Amino acid sequence: MVVPPNERYPGLKPVMFDFVDKIAKIRQDNPNLAEQQPLFFTFLTFPWLAPAGALTEEQRLYQDRRKLEIAQLGFDGERAKQILDDILANDRHLRECCPDPLQLAAYFDGHFLTSSADAKRQGAAPARLEFAFEAFEALTYQQPFRRIALSHLFNFDMAANHIVIQGTAPLGDIRIERLNERAIPAILGEYGFQAFLHPAGVGNCFVFEEEAASDKDDLQWISEKRQKAWFFAQVLQYYKDGVVHLGYSAPVFLPEWAGQVRRSGVFFLGELRRVPHESGNKPYLLDAPAKEQLDLWWKAATARLTIEALSCRKGRLRQATWRAGEYYESSHRRADPVDRLIAIAIGFESLFSPSDQGELNFRICQTAAQFLGQSPAERQQIFSDLKKMYRRRSEIVHGTYDLDKYDSGQFVTPAELDIWAGYLRRAMAGFLALYLAGDRDAEREPVLARIAELNFDESKRAKLSEDSDLEKVLRQLSAGP
């Protein structure tokens, strides 16, 4: 939608042509200087427009000297600054696109002023300059200002190209878009058809947030949007097995020219993970049935009661889930298999380590197997798998691992890590359910005591299984008080 004429700065055309006349004369009289400064209007106005708070005393003195030199060229920098300030004060669109006068000067210069001044010096007909201004004006007001926050979900894929996950205030919905890989380089500030910083195989799905201008600066705005996307990625990590985490967050501005003046070069927050997980062949896939269930999880996660509970770190049960969650979530971000192994092992210890330290690893494996296993055979399998995990961790810690297997990537395999991470995810879900449904000051030891009794009473096993059903607890939380 084009910005209506009645919302534009009414005197823009005469102001621009007056600047063109002044620039053309100064460049004509100073050909050497003109050759050195291709963006001449920016060069002339910079000493008056540079943010004073960002300058050192030495830089300030240098800019004061430049003001005198530029004044001697016949240019009134103070008057130019007043005009730019007046334009920003009376043209909301230009103010939204260019929050400060230096950005506005750079836009005017790069798209009309210096090129038109040079055309005038070379004897261009007035009609040609009129045509150039019409093109410049059309570009300037072609669409209202919008800014978009794109947060990359590493290794994430979905059946559709666009989905919305329903949430509750204040965080609200999550919109996920699959981007064409040819559009991604521009998002990162790169050129070409394939991004170097975002290689094939890492996933092309992004959390997408779009809005009009606000009083928040770009850094504060993108940081807040990233925090929401980060929380959503955490929910994904607990929702189902699979590696997924939030990568980088980058801003996009519309119209396109606004992005050219508001950001330069590569600009993003977060981490770039350039090595795909499992060569890109094992994505975290969200299909249609899973999407419907995820709506429930996100609604519950964004409910007031849940947010208040998760922000609390008072009781030992919450402290245990906090520590375990930190390591479980970090295991999604770690590319090195051994790093991932260690993070998963510490996550189990945070949940299941006994108060006394005797036979620590054995008791952690046994307690976890009792908590997770639904049958004697499954409990035995979990116990054996976790014992294997701790043997590998012990070999790393004590420096007794096989060097050949380590160097060849066979010391610990991705398939084994996925199994262990899946157990930890289930354990975390169970402990979080017990915490969210109980007292915020609850201790961890009573939970371990309940698990210890499971061998002797199947009714207690059924009751603990019911109490640790996270989806059941989330349904209760999403229903409100």
Q: What is the DSSP string of 102-156?
A: HHHHHHHIIIIIHHHHHHHHTT--HHHHHHHHHHHHHHHTSS--EEEEEEEEETE
pLDDT at 359: 65
pLDDT at 480: 67
User: Rounded to the nearest 5 degrees, what angle is found at the Cα of 371, between the Cα atoms of 366 and 376?
Assistant: 70
> Cα separation of 62 and 158, whole Å?
56
- Whether the pLDDT of residue 17 is over 80: the answer is yes
DSSP character at residue 4: P
> Cα separation of 258 and 140, whole Å?
9
Share of the chain above pLDDT 90, in %: 74
pLDDT at 355: 62
Q: Give the mean pLDDT of the chain.
A: 92
The β-bridge partners of 157 are 285
> Cα separation of 105 and 296, whole Å?
49
pLDDT at 357: 52
Tens digit of each residue's pLDDT (9 = 90 or more) over 197-235: 899 999 999 999 999 888 888 999 999 999 999 999 999
Tens digit of each residue's pLDDT (9 = 90 or more) over 319-348: 999 999 999 999 999 999 999 999 999 999
pLDDT at 476: 87
277: CB partners within 8 A, 6+ apart:
154, 155, 202, 243, 283, 335
Does residue 481 sit in helix, strand or coil? coil
Mean pLDDT of 19-29: 95
400: CB partners within 8 A, 6+ apart:
394
Token match 């016949």: residue?
Answer: 74
pLDDT at 356: 54
The pTM score is 0.88
Tens digit of each residue's pLDDT (9 = 90 or more) over 351-409: 998 765 556 888 999 999 999 999 999 999 999 999 999 999 988 877 777 888 888 88
Q: Are 114 and 78 in contact (CB under 8 A)?
A: no
pLDDT at 221: 94
**Whose CA is closest to 233, among 338, 345, 333, 337?**
333
